[in-house]
């Protein structure tokens, strides 16, 4: 089983002057410790609540990933997940292709229908109704796959038209970088996963109730929730004659590794991660409060990561 790290906050002591150096330390440690993936969010404002006030520091996702690509050697990198509407589909295909080439084949395309209306409106990005967003997300996926096939024929969709969808150089990964769709919508979102994606992503919550009652309740009820979502996805796969095992089952949540009683012990995490493996999860992605202090990340790398990799 795989274990990845998501970085969600940048309001570190001394920021913004030290964001680059602190990010470098985290990324290079994760790479050298053999974490499987490294992710940032595709937001421009912070999300509020336990994640930080909207005005808190937030780094643009693809500039950050390019920086991380240069700092690391083996870890996979991506956004969890890109809001499709922030970039035209053809430009997004080029962006991921470029990231894959410069990282020597380590890029994921994480993508979703976007939800954060305040940041879109705040920065002048059109934010259509949810039904339109899912239509546009599907066409975005079609455009990207069209370009990654090196198909130069015009693309004529309802929302997007590309006269000459050229994409050179193509990504290094074959047939293309894995497409991860972040959606738990049972009618449209999971249908798109079954039809277009190489990976799904579901939320397992937070292990610390201080991060919010709803998020903690999701963690407490995560196993039936995740099993249900996978079952719905499996049903959609049958409609497209798709083997669900071809889709990487990834989950995301917040943990607090510790060697004392103030957070998650290694054994607690391994017990929980073991139950996730039993229900079919392939790839666990976590974010950690105060990851910049490195202590919790070092505990995760030393006490948890090797055992996760050993889970069959």
DSSP per-residue codes, 255-271: --B-SSTTSB-HHHHHH
Cα 92 off chain centre by: 16
Cα 171 off chain centre by: 19
In 190-270, beta strands by DSSP E: 199-206, 248-254
Tokens of 300: 């995760």
Instruction: Give the pLDDT confidence of 139-152 residue by residue, as tens digits.
Output: 999 999 999 999 99
Per-residue pLDDT of the chain (312 residues; tens, 9 = 90+): 999 999 999 999 998 999 999 999 999 999 999 999 999 999 999 998 878 899 999 999 999 999 999 999 999 999 999 999 999 999 999 999 999 999 999 999 999 999 999 999 999 999 999 999 999 999 999 999 999 999 999 999 999 999 999 999 999 999 999 999 999 999 999 999 999 999 999 999 999 998 889 999 999 999 999 999 999 999 999 999 999 999 999 999 999 999 987 889 999 999 999 999 999 999 999 999 999 999 999 999 999 999 999 997
Classify residue 266 by burial, with Cβ atoms within 10 Å: 0-12, 13-18, 19+: middle
Tokens of 258: 């510790």
Query: Which residue has 């590794």 as its token pair?
Result: 257
CA–CA gap between residue 191 and residue 176 (Å, rounded):
20
CA–CA gap between residue 211 and residue 287 (Å, rounded):
12
* 175 upstream amide cis, omega within 30 of 0: yes
Find all residues with CB under 8 Å of 171, minimum gap 6, and list them: 96, 97, 100, 101, 105, 107, 148, 177
Instruction: Give the pLDDT confidence of 170-192 residue by residue, as tens digits.
Output: 999 999 999 999 999 999 999 99
Classify residue 153 by burial, with Cβ atoms within 10 Å: 0-12, 13-18, 19+: exposed
80 closest CA partner among 116, 113, 120, 40: 40
**What phi, psi does 287 have (nearest 5°)?**
-115, 155
For the chain, domain boundaries: 2-309
Does 2-309 carry CATH code 3.20.20.30?
Answer: yes
Q: What percent of the chain has pLDDT over 70?
A: 100
């Amino acid at each position: 089983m795989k274990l990845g790290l998501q970085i969600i906050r940048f309001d570190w002591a001394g920021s913004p002057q030290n964001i680059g150096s602190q990010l470098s330390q985290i990324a290079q440690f994760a790479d050298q410790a053999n974490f499987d993936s490294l992710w940032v969010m595709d937001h421009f404002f912070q999300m509020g609540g336990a994640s930080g006030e909207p005005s808190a520091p937030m780094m643009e996702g693809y500039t950050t990933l390019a920086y991380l690509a240069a700092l690391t050697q083996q870890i996979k990198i991506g956004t969890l997940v890109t809001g499709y509407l922030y970039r035209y589909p053809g430009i997004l295909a080029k962006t991921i292709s470029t990231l894959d080439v410069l990282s020597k084949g380590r890029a994921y395309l994480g993508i979703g229908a976007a939800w954060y209306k305040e940041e879109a409106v705040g920065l002048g990005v059109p934010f259509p109704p949810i039904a339109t967003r899912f239509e546009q997300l599907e066409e975005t996926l079609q455009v990207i796959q069209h370009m990654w096939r090196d198909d130069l024929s015009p693309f004529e969709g309802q929302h997007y038209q590309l006269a000459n969808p050229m994409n050179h150089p193509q990504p290094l990964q074959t047939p293309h970088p894995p497409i991860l769709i972040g959606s738990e919508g049972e009618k449209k979102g999971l249908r798109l996963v079954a039809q277009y994606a190489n990976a799904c992503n579901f939320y397992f919550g937070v292990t610390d109730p201080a991060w919010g009652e709803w998020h903690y309740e999701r963690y407490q009820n995560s196993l039936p929730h995740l099993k249900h979502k996978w079952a719905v996805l499996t049903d959609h796969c049958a409609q497209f004659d798709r083997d669900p095992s071809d889709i990487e089952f990834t989950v995301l949540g917040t943990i607090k590794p510790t060697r004392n009683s103030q957070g998650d012990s290694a054994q607690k995490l391994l017990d929980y991660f073991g139950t996730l493996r039993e229900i079919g999860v392939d790839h666990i992605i976590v974010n950690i409060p105060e990851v910049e202090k490195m202590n919790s990340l070092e505990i995760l790398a030393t006490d948890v990561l090797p055992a996760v990799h050993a889970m069959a």
